[in-house]
Structure 1
Amino acid sequence: MTDLYYFFKNNFRKVGFGWLLTFFSSFGQTFLISLYVPEIVRDFQITEGTFGAIYAGCTVISSIVMLTVGHTVDHKPVKKVTAFTIFSLAFSSILLGFSYHIGLLFIALIGLRLTGQGLMSHISMTVISKYFDKNRGKALSISSLGYSMGEAILPVIIVLLIGWFDWRIASIASGCALLIYLIRLKFTNLADFDKQLSGEGRPSTLSLLKDYKNVVFQKKFGIMMPASFALSFTITAIFFYQYVFVEDKNWSVQLYATFFTVYAVTRFLFSLFGGMWVDKYTAKVLFRYFLIPLTLGILPFAFMESIIGALLLLIMAGITVGMSGTVQTALIAEMYGTAKMGAIRSVFTMFMVLSTALGPLLVGFLIDLKIPFSTIMLILFGLMALICLNSLRIKNEKYLSN
């Protein structure tokens, strides 16, 4: 931990930039948008299922658009790309607040998902990976702590704003907060990150397609992508319907909610541990095991009668999710190099964002079919177990140096 402290002290501004981007990505994440859902459903007079379908469609569209813009961080100045992304996220938040027509709601949600969950995280993880080599794990782990802080702080603020005013004011206020940071960004020196930019300029569409084809048809992509997809698919589906599952088990909703503090603390700690372990053992080694805790945690959640089963899931999920961002991003750098990391990582991000749409959609379909809760959890366990076995194959893949 001493090494981590001195690293943070010596690189505060650079990793702080990465942290702020992951923190502000919360405005496009499911956990924050879900706070608006009851009010949106009432105002637009639609059902939860209809909104779920709209949300899934917007998320799928944003994941596809991600492929066309994710590469910009490889060849455009970091400040310029970041400023455009923050402005777009702010505009989308404000547009959501002024959405009195379903068409505007659709556009706002696409913008939130693309720039929030997609690009803000993508820029942070990509530029940090490119700039740091020897201490990449520590840098990524500190940057990823913005996710945990966003989950801990922002829902409380948004709920208060909704309670004092309404959901529209809360969404507009979120956009204004982003615009304030945009002003601060103007006076932030990010020139050091631009030293890693590609000198080839903007790639042609044909070149991009060739790069994407080379990535997708490599064996290591078939090992790495399913882990990213399955993790986001499973964790989003479970958390999206967590209170439905809790009520199905007749557990105390209030007690379950307090357990989330344990999840947040666990995720925070293992974000830090994951970074130190990546630097010590490499991401390639950790990738083989980081999904196991969540996979095992599904079983007590499904079959234990006591609410301790939920606590065990949240602890195990905190371990896996805490390490995931650092391990997966560092592995991309190790296996593909960092020269075209923006373009390569955008492919992985596309599948990750896509999975966050499909997870709630498919699990919701199973719930509508009256499939028992334990059976749904067993299906997710089986999926994760297969992916864990597939991840072991990374052992035989070779590194690619820049």
Structure 2
Amino acid sequence: MRLTDYLRENAPFLTVGAMLTFLSASGQTYFISIFAGEIRVAFGLSHGAWGGIYMLGTMASAVVMIWAGSLTDRYRVRVLGPMVLTGMAITCGAMAFNQWVWALPVLIFALRFFGQGMMTHIAVVAMARWFVATRGKALSIASFGFAFGEAFLPMAIVAAMSMTAWQNLWLVAAGISLLSAPIIAWLLSQERTPASLANSESSVGMRGNHWMRSNALRHPLFWCMVPSIIGPSAFNTAFFFHQVHFAQVKGIEHLIFVSFFPIFTALTVIVMISAGWALDKYGTARLMPFFQVPMVFAFLTFALSQDTWSLALGFAFLGMTSGANATLPNAFWAEFYGTAHIGAIKAMVMAVMVLGSAIGPGMTGIMIDQGIGIETQFLGVALYFVGVTGLMMWGIGRAARDLPLAQISTEIKTPQQ
């Protein structure tokens, strides 16, 4: 099928995926961290205190995700999507008017839960379930929402903050989320109900089984993958969370720093598309073990760079893994564990990822307060990803032997009731 025909036949569902990934921005670290300087000044917080608040709220959202994420196995996206968007709108509005430091952990929890947690989870589970033969392609297209937000929102927001109060920008985010809710419901007026998906229509995983979450947690592959889930989440989050501090360490203006984001996004998009097409052809078993290798070079570059062009190279390496991370892991869980209970399994994965995003900023913020420089920390991060790559090579190599030789499944192009 030609790409134009594919996009036309699946337009409502791909559009919803891209919308949800873009609208998750208000709960993503790269968005929240833009306001880090203003929030710290407004509430009199140190790097460690702000990192601790962020960690507390994010960890709470990770715990709730374990339960809430499994709702995607029971309810339609057209029901969950508008509900989550409404919750995000309320939270963004509360961020604009909040004057109490004790409320910050609650608001961070809600931003992370609705944005990074549920909106991202709903989008990737929907793509994994609605599409089988072209799962990688669908995930790549839906992930354009992430890329678009990362490319343009930071520069737009930093520029807008020079013209208006930062609180007003949270009100804009609230309005966008609220207006998007009915659009999602309209686009999915013919959405298939997850509960109506028979096992015969779901792809199977290892040993030809439809794996449940309890079975997945008892399998060694899941625990081999945990460090790879935590790593990008923790340290990408830490990098963007402390972007204001990092720019100061490097001696460059914040606006110049965020001007490198399009480089990050360009590589993200290129690798995201390439990885999506490659995994449909080769499967995730051959690709997954190596997708975090660029992170080694990214953090080595950030630690050792002495000029702005070296930083640009670091952003390029970071974008490579970010692009692959948008498609490969989401398809990996469906390929190895099947799609019958993918919502519950991905909910646990998402909880681990959110936990990582809580650990990263909190841990690095405390270390900064203790006098351990961000550049020194990044050297340790590079070594971490060397170890993670070796662990994935071993774990996936063993588990791939249990994959079925062929999975008889049909791509869902136009879901019906």
Task: Work out whether the TM-score is over 0.5.
Answer: yes
Structure 1 segment 299-314 matched on structure 2, within 5 A: 299-314=300-315
Q: Deviation of residue 252 (structure 1)? A: 7.0
Q: What secondary structure is seen at the aligned counterpart in 1 of 2:290?
A: coil
Q: 371, 388, 399: which is aligned to 2:403?
A: 399
Deviations 1:193-212 (A, max 9, x none): 42565689xxxxxxxxx954
Structure 1 segment 59-208 matched on structure 2, within 5 A: 59-159=58-158, 161-194=160-193, 197=196
Residue 371 of structure 1 aligns with an amino acid whose one-letter code is I
CA gap of 1:297–1:21, structure 2 versus 1, over 3 A, is: same
User: 1:131·1:196 contact (CA, 8 Å) conserved in 2?
Assistant: no
Q: What secondary structure is seen at the aligned counterpart in 2 of 1:338?
A: coil
Partner of 2:215: 214
- Structure 2 distance, partners of 1:57, 1:103, is 12
CA gap of 1:159–1:193, structure 2 versus 1, over 3 A, is: farther
User: 2:238·2:360 contact (CA, 8 Å) conserved in 1?
Assistant: yes
Deviations 1:167-205 (A, max 9, x none): 2222122111111111323422343342565689xxxxx
User: 1:92·1:108 contact (CA, 8 Å) conserved in 2?
Assistant: yes
**5+ residue gaps in structure 1?**
201-209
CA gap of 1:240–1:105, structure 2 versus 1, over 3 A, is: closer
Partner of 1:28: 27
Deviations 1:352-393 (A, max 9, x none): 111111112212222233235553222111111000001102
Between the two proteins, the alignment pairs up a number of residues equal to 392
Partner of 1:266: 267
Q: What is the root-mean-square deviation of aligned Cα atoms in Å?
A: 2.5
User: 1:233·1:359 contact (CA, 8 Å) conserved in 2?
Assistant: yes
**5+ residue gaps in structure 2?**
200-210, 410-417
User: 1:269·1:322 contact (CA, 8 Å) conserved in 2?
Assistant: yes
Q: Percent identity?
A: 28
Partner of 1:18: 17
Q: Deviation of residue 257 (structure 1)? A: 3.8
User: 1:97·1:171 contact (CA, 8 Å) conserved in 2?
Assistant: yes
- Structure 1 distance, partners of 2:158, 2:259, is 16
User: 2:70·2:343 contact (CA, 8 Å) conserved in 1?
Assistant: yes
User: 1:78·1:190 contact (CA, 8 Å) conserved in 2?
Assistant: no
Partner of 1:359: 360
Residue 97 of structure 2 aligns with an amino acid whose one-letter code is F
Q: Which moved more, 1:230-239 or 1:126-135?
A: 230-239
Structure 1 segment 45-56 matched on structure 2, within 5 A: 45-56=44-55
User: 1:96·1:104 contact (CA, 8 Å) conserved in 2?
Assistant: no
Q: Which moved more, 1:251-260 or 1:11-20?
A: 251-260
Q: What secondary structure is seen at the aligned counterpart in 1 of 2:187?
A: coil
Q: Which has the higher contact order (CA 8 A, sep 6+)?
A: 2
Residue 282 of structure 1 aligns with an amino acid whose one-letter code is G
CA gap of 1:46–1:289, structure 2 versus 1, over 3 A, is: closer
Residue 93 of structure 1 aligns with an amino acid whose one-letter code is C
Q: Which runs of 4+ in 1 moved over 4 A?
A: 2-6, 195-200, 249-256
Q: Which moved more, 1:362-371 or 1:191-200?
A: 191-200
What TM-score results when the alignment is normalised by the length of structure 1?
0.89
Q: Which moved more, 1:242-251 or 1:180-189?
A: 242-251
Partner of 2:336: 335
- Structure 1 distance, partners of 2:159, 2:253, is 23
Q: Which moved more, 1:132-141 or 1:254-263?
A: 254-263
- Structure 2 distance, partners of 1:312, 1:95, is 38
Q: Deviation of residue 38 (structure 1)? A: 2.6
Residue 61 of structure 2 aligns with an amino acid whose one-letter code is S
CA gap of 1:41–1:306, structure 2 versus 1, over 3 A, is: closer
CA gap of 1:5–1:324, structure 2 versus 1, over 3 A, is: farther
User: 2:75·2:194 contact (CA, 8 Å) conserved in 1?
Assistant: no
